[in-house]
Chains A and B, each alone.
Chain A
Amino acid sequence: MGKTTINLTSITYAMKAQRLLEQVGIFTTIGRTRKNKEGLGCGYSLFIKSSDLNRTLDILSNYNIRVVSVEPFGGSRL
């Protein structure tokens, strides 16, 4: 089962997103961002099942949680 990384702007938004997603049965983990598309350094990411991606992006959009970028899980690890 594939995983996807959703890069967010901060730990607060990552935790807010995690809370919202939990309420609809999407379970996530939070970790440090490996590769930030905007190249601005530290951030926090949500790791989700790839099959939940579209639903997750819809929910985050509905709650005005800005997604910095979406990456394949582990694809950018050193």
Chain B
Amino acid sequence: MIYLDNAATTFPKPKAVYASIKDALVNYGANPGRSGHKMSTKTAQKIFETREKISQMFGAQVENVIFTNNCTSAINMAVKGVLKNGDHVIISDLEHNSVLRPIHYLSEIGMITYSIASVVEGDFDATLNNFKKLINDKTKMIACTHGSNLTGVLLPIEKLGILCKQNNIYFLVDAAQSAGIIPINMAKYNIDYLCMPGHKGLYGPPGTGVLITQKPESISPSFHGGTGNLSLSFSQPTTMPEKLESGTLNTTGIISLYYGLDYINKTNVNKIYEYEMMLASMLYDTLKNIDKVKLYTLPPKIGSHLPVICFNVEGYHSEDVTEFLDSKGFCVRGGFHCAALTHKKLGTTEIGAVRVSFSSFNNVTEIKRFTQTVHLLTKN
């Protein structure tokens, strides 16, 4: 089996991640931040070290790292915790439904309005200008993906961060596809809310996600409850991370995530990006020479794309292609990728698209075998 569905979740994980799950259950089985006994303190220490690793990787204060269930939870917490009646939000036309739906929902109930900025592939200035044109005096937030989960096209987050700062607008970045693949520094990029899954580029287990904020005072908690501190108070603590982190944490997942982060640090995030982009470019260059294969982006380039390629084969629905590829041992995703806006933009709302996404565990031989198999299909 050759797994090329890493934009959905990475597989395999580093060996240390697998081993850490048993270790966490056996040796870190207590509830962190709740009790004072040795195992609870030891577990809390491991949770803190994971928080610390994340804060160092993304340039944030350790207490402002919030553990969530996934990236969608993180986005919902920030969007619903920050926006108020009458606010206006700008998103891009490459958003995953995890950004689109919470914002669309708030507009459906009459709370906010939102606008959609068009992303111009390969032209950061044009994209920036499209966002800029949509700012009005009610604009409270720009919420956008760092890069499309379908096409891999990157948004100019550094420029958007400056735009937000200049206009006193909050900046939320959905780093679902970029965290662990492209270096991100929140302070440098003026990102107020950075949302990410733990189980994709960070190589942690499913059920882990992270929200990091530089403006904790701006978010009202969506969840209230036990935090292990100030237990006699009827009100939610205002200190971070407890303000936004009620209930028992996914200690097993978080401790395993530590080892995913450790793998990235040891491998080097820049090297991961370069390597995966090499694989993506190789795939793109081969597919473009196969008759009946339609590609939807410019050739992938470092700085303007993520290592994600989408394509279709003439005469086939994308799900037919992925089914065929599955029968030959390849795991890729067809259909619509929870990306209504992007498929609308690409004109693929009828047949979807086949998405190939890489991890640092893929190799050149796998890509060669994949393209040979696509070639085989086109000859049928």
Contacts and interface: CB of A to CB of B under 8 A. Distances in A.
Given A12-B63, A13-B63, A41 B48 contact: no
A32 B35 contact: yes
B61 to A, nearest CB: 8
A11 B229 contact: yes
A44 B32 CA distance: 12
Interface residues of B, number: 24
Chain A interface size, as a band, is 10 to 19
Contacts of A31: 36
A11 B33 contact: yes
A45 B64 CA distance: 20
A19 interface: yes
Interface string B212-232: 000000000000000111111
Interface in B4-61: 32-33, 35-36, 41, 44-45, 48, 51-52
Contact of A15 (B44, B230, B233): B44
B63 to A, nearest CB: 5
Interface of B: 32-33, 35-36, 41, 44-45, 48, 51-52, 62-63, 227-233, 237, 239-242
B239 A10 contact: yes
Contacts of B227: 10
Interface string A31-58: 1100000111111100000000000000
B237 A10 contact: yes
A11 B231 contact: no
A41 B78 CA distance: 28
11 contacts: A9-B237, A10-B229, A10-B242, A11-B32, A12-B51, A40-B232, A41-B229, A41-B233, A42-B228, A43-B230, A66-B239
Contacts of A11: 32-33, 44, 48, 228-229
B36 A43 contact: no
